[in-house]
Structure 1
């Protein structure tokens, strides 16, 4: 364990495996498996677990069981179970399921807004404004994701100023936190630093890296140095984005925890339990975990 100057003492790991990790699995994962997955994550020490999404089933069939899943969960004291909602109908369904925290999903680029939301870069806010307003009226905590913050497969590099403009509009709506999403994994540490510094409010930011080019941990370290202390990650490194063909898996929670532990940064997570959970899930998905730490710590036959 060797600390570096300028890093936080503690990091919140925002676990996205049950939602972002599973959303584009081709074979439907049984709801019982999803519920056990979430319970195992809580047992490993997670205090924020994004459980599911209330999108229309035709968009993401894997998450069509969202209400059933939440009804099955044994919600633990001190653990937050946010859900993603795309619109007012999704929010109504989430409220009926007793959620206390939601997230909305925006785009930093025109092309992805059109493909993912069927809206333009500006008109997407017509979807979010009433959702955020009603959620706040009900006392819910609201997170905002903004995707394609470093690059877009149709437009190329995303201008920093454009990302900041979209992100600040979301924060001004009343969102408590903004997660910057490297949807296709093209970010590099210098770019990550420049983007975070351009916002000037790292305490309200989270980062969400994909490991397409092997940069997720390097980018995370840059974000920590820039003052961010909430990191999105997916147990086992599962997931990607069904709307961006070049996207690969999320930053693996185990890989993140290994690095943070080496830096002396507290997470409250039990690495052995996380690895065991990834091995358990990999058996049910029918393929090995892409996490390097899981591979390194799993006994070989």
Structure 2
């Protein structure tokens, strides 16, 4: 028996139908239908506290998302329970679109024109070409690498930063503290797709944000705890950072009345840069379930020490 759960009953119903069609030899059930001691696998997002402890024969858990920081912080997650995350499931293309939108807007001065519109100014700015805009990607995993490759194909000079060295065609790879500083100092647009880990929390603090090029742009589509929001606001207010496009925040939803909501240089989206697509997620998880049934190694197993 395989238990499927999300906070939305409607979504659970849709997932159950897709999983059952893709793997008819297995029984996929909701929380209400489950017999706890018969559940072997758990597929979930937004799981209530205490559920895992009620599943004595659980062999593995599959997350319906790429980020697993909230799952890893749970007190009821057994340390020896294999946890698998989604590697893409359609999210790489969405993330590429989201970051490409921000980079192109920066290149074409759309943020400046929005501010001019608000004050009734009619002033044309000098055009820029893609090769004039240096893009730095924070995070070169499955999704970050796809974003970096796509922007390089668009003609932007692309560099990327990761925990260790990477080798990606047409992408300049940097790593370590020195590499991070160089990326910040030499990019016109910084775009983060980093997960939340003990190593990334607070990574973009005031000191590091101050290393960014004067007049540069920040895009954060990874996790909100990466960024010091107060430091970003200060650098936006003094003009050091020209604009920001933010999809994730330290507290979500972003509290009503927070100064980021009304800042003229900030674009806010409600954690929609890359949303799990059901059919692709089902195909990936079913593929992993079949591998496990055949005694093979499944993809996307989380290394808990790394946080992803």
**So what's the TM-score if we normalise by structure 1?**
0.32
**So what's the TM-score if we normalise by structure 2?**
0.31
Instruction: Report the structure, 1 or 2, having the larger helix content.
Output: 1
Q: Which has the higher contact order (CA 8 A, sep 6+)?
A: 1
Larger Cα-atom Rg: 2
